[in-house]
Each structure stands twice: as structure tokens, then as C-alpha cells.
A = this chain, B = another copy of it.
Amino acid sequence: MSDTGVTVKKTDDFNEWYVEVVLKAELADYAPVKGCMIIRPDAYAVWEKIQEVINQKIKATGHRNVYFPMFIPEAFLKKEAEHFEGFTPEVAWITQGGDTPLDEKLAVRPTSETIMYSMFSKWIRSWRDLPLKINQWCNIVRWETKATKLFLRTREFLWQEGHTVHATAIDAEAEVMYALNMYKDVIENYLAIPVVVGIKSESEKFAGALYTTALESIMPDGKALQMGTSHNLGQHFAKVFDVKYIGEDKQDHYVWQTSWGVTTRLIGAMIMVHGDDKGLIMPPKVAPIQVVIVPILFKGLEAKAIATKTKEIEQSLKARGITVILDDRSEYTPGWKFHQWELKGIPIRIELGPRDLKAGQVVMVRRDTGVKTPVIEVDIQATVENLLQEIQDNMLAKAKAILSDKTITVQNYGEFKQVVECKGGFIKAAWCGDPECEAKTKNETGATIRVRPFQREEPTSSCVFCGKEAKEIVYFARSY
């Protein structure tokens, strides 16, 4: 498969570069079913890391995992009008079981609000049952008609969906922010991707939500990618699915709800943001393998000594909880191996040849900077640990600098269009709040409001689109 490395430069043809990295680093492959992908072991391992971190966080705060059926009766989807309109165009329908046509066609879940909340109305009786905080890891289907993009746009993908039920509006609001901040931590501190957080405009919110908060980032081609969302559902679904509780006041009350999710597209973002012309660069905290050891073999006694020494190093790193591969295959040359592991983005490479053996040292190579450093034997473990953290920090810092560079404030519509066309990225623009300005801008430029940021800045101009008084500065971008 990956006998040759990446042949396209990231800056020359970003889309082609991305496909090559994904395929050649064996992260994913196109499935023989249109619009679908296969997540291969190295990428699935990143997903497992994301699962581990999120599970640890949400369980510590009282959320519990569950599993609901993936089949949703059409009638359920129809109950919340906005929700139905938003999702039906991309629903895959089951119409036949065995040889028998079904009486009512079943949707393959595009999201699970409706089926879950139909049960909540049965399970929740009194204030004692609240809050109810559950989460589900599962597959999701949305019948995309646009071109397939590995990890970013496929008809089936994996996600988690948190669903919580609260007694009060304030509790629901707090939960929305809890989930959003939890995601920010995971995305910035594990995947090393900086994000902007805020609220979606009405036209971009989740179908059926009171409001949607989101985390957005900019990819190297200047397009924005939505990294995760956390919705305040208010009482919309509660009223439709009759989810009520008897309060301490002995009265019936509708509940307040939230839902939130991140998907396997995070892996795509990680590849795009961090990769270079040699291939992938894995952030150490989510890398399935953090260190690869490559013995530089020769025949004779020295080769044996090198083999012994590299095994020792492997064991000592494993004992510290570091994931490591000793690549002592004899059928490949060291040079071939270097390229292979660079393509796969292993954060640190350790080389050990006869000269190193004599000097009582190894050579450590950082994947992110390519810098080579000789490290004496006793310092190996500590250096690896420090270096892993340094690489993690450096990757985030680098990505932050790029995000900052790709965030531009414009003063008028001419500038706006110029930036959209020539540079891309986030465009900070004063907006009057009128959905018509938003719709017109989308039609004319393809850029949409990605978020109304929580970190509010006062407008320094009138509305960039209509000239009326501006209410706020929002982030626009063309997006995936």
C-alpha cells in the first residue's frame, strides 16, 4: 500500500494531499458501498483514545452510557416539525425485513432525540428522577448526496450523543456549557486543535433546539470545520413527547433538555491541521504509538548488542506507560522504516546504530520539527516523557498561531468578499442581527455565520452587509 510516500505537497493541492495521507498512512479507505468509509486500526485507535477521555470525563460528572435502537419509526421523527424537516431529506429508510415489506418504514437514526425522549416520558416521574444524564456511542446515518470526504462527509459515521434532562432552565443551560467546555478541553488539549466557541445563528442551529452552541476551527485550506455541538433543547421536545415530572411542589412541570455530540470527523480535523508533506503528525496524547525504535542493523556481534539494547529501551519505556514499537524487521531498510513511520506520524523516533552504541547514546528525532538530538542512555526515559509533552504543546501553539493568522476582521463588504475569495479563514464582521443579511451573504459568497462568539467584542463599524447599526461581531467562513 504505502510503498511510496505522499506525492503531493500540502500547500500545492490540499484536497489531494489529504486523500493521499489518509489512504497511504492507512487511516481509512473507501468502502465498496457508495458514500461509506472504513476506519482502519491506526485511526480507530485515535477514536478509542477520544472515547476513553470523554468517557472518563462524563462518567466522573454522573453521566452513564446506554444503547438505544437505531431504528426510528417515521411517526416519531414527525412529532417535532423543525426536527423532521431538518433531517428527513437525508434519512436512509428501511422498508423491508426479510421478504416482508414493513407496515411503517423505519429511519436509520440520523440522531436519537425522538426515540430516546419517547422513553424519557415513561421513565421520568418525579423530581427524584432528575437530572437524567445519559450518553450513547454509536453509528449514525445521514444520506449525503455531496461528494464523499473521508472522515468529514460519509453516509455513515460514528459519534457520541449526550442527552440530559433537567428540572430547570438554569440546570439545562449549565449542562450545555459543561459539555461545550468538556469538548474544548478534549479538542485543544488532546487533539491540539484550537477552537472558537459560541452560539449558532438561528439558521444554523440544530433542528428542534432552542439554541445551539458550537466549537469551530479553521482547516489549512481556509474552510471552517464544525468540531462539535452542544444544544439547549429548551422544552421543545418535552412538550412534544410529554416529558414531565412532579416537582417537590406536587405540580407537573415540563423538563428542560440538552443534547451534544462529537463525531469521527475529529480525526479528519487532526489529520488536516497537523499533517505535513511527509504525512501525518499524531498529537502524542492520542497517538496509538508514541515512540518507534529503529535499530540500525549490521551483521556480526554489534548487531546483537544493538538488538539487546533496543529491546531494553523498549521495555523501559513500556514500563513507564509509553506506547512503543520496536521495528526490528529485517526485510526493510532503516531508511524505508523512517519514511514509513514519518508517514504514520509517530511523534518520536529513536535510532540506535553502532556509533551510538559505542557512545552510550541514542538519536531521538521529533516528528513535528524533524530535530535530531543525541540522548545519553540514562536520560532516555525522562527525555521521551518531556519531549512528548513538548511536542503536544508545540503542536497546539503552532495551530493557534495559524488560526490567529487565519482570523481577519473586515470593515466592509468589499473587504469581506475579498478575504472569502483570496484567503479564507474566519472573517470577523459586524452584523446587525438580521437573518436577511446572513442569507444574502451566504448566497453571494458561500460564507455562513459559524459562531456568534462567547468572547464578545464591540462592533467598530456598522453592519458590514447592510450598513445598519451592528449588534455584534460574528465569525463567518466557508465551511465543510
Contact = CB atoms under 8 A, between A and B. Distances in A.
Interface of A: 1, 29, 31-33, 36-41, 44-45, 47-48, 64-73, 76, 88-99, 105-106, 108, 115, 118-119, 122-123, 125, 128, 134, 138-139, 143, 145, 155-156, 158, 331
Contacts of A40: 66
B119 A69 contact: no
B37 A69 contact: yes
A143 B69 CA distance: 13
A69 B134 contact: no
Contacts of A98: 88-91, 143, 145
Given A94-B92, A96-B92, A44 B67 contact: yes
Centre residue among A71, A105, A122, A128 by max chain B CB count within 10 A: A71
B72 A33 contact: yes
A69 B156 contact: yes
B96 A96 contact: no
A96 B95 contact: yes
Contacts of A99: 89
A118 B97 CA distance: 25
Given A33-B69, A33-B115, A92-B97, 15 more contacts: A31-B115, A32-B115, A32-B119, A37-B69, A38-B119, A40-B66, A70-B156, A71-B156, A89-B99, A90-B98, A91-B97, A92-B94, A93-B96, A94-B108, A128-B331
Contacts of A143: 97-98
A75 to B, nearest CB: 9
Contacts of A44: 64-67
Can you list the 9 inter-chain pairs with the closest CB atoms, starting with the nearest?
Answer: A41-B64, A97-B143, A36-B69, A39-B67, A93-B96, A31-B69, A95-B95, A33-B71, A89-B98
B89 A36 contact: no
Contact of A138 (B36, B64, B119, B139): B139
Contact of A134 (B36, B41, B88): B41
Nearest to A94: B92
Contacts of A90: 97-98
B94 A94 contact: yes
A404 B399 CA distance: 64
A72 B106 CA distance: 18
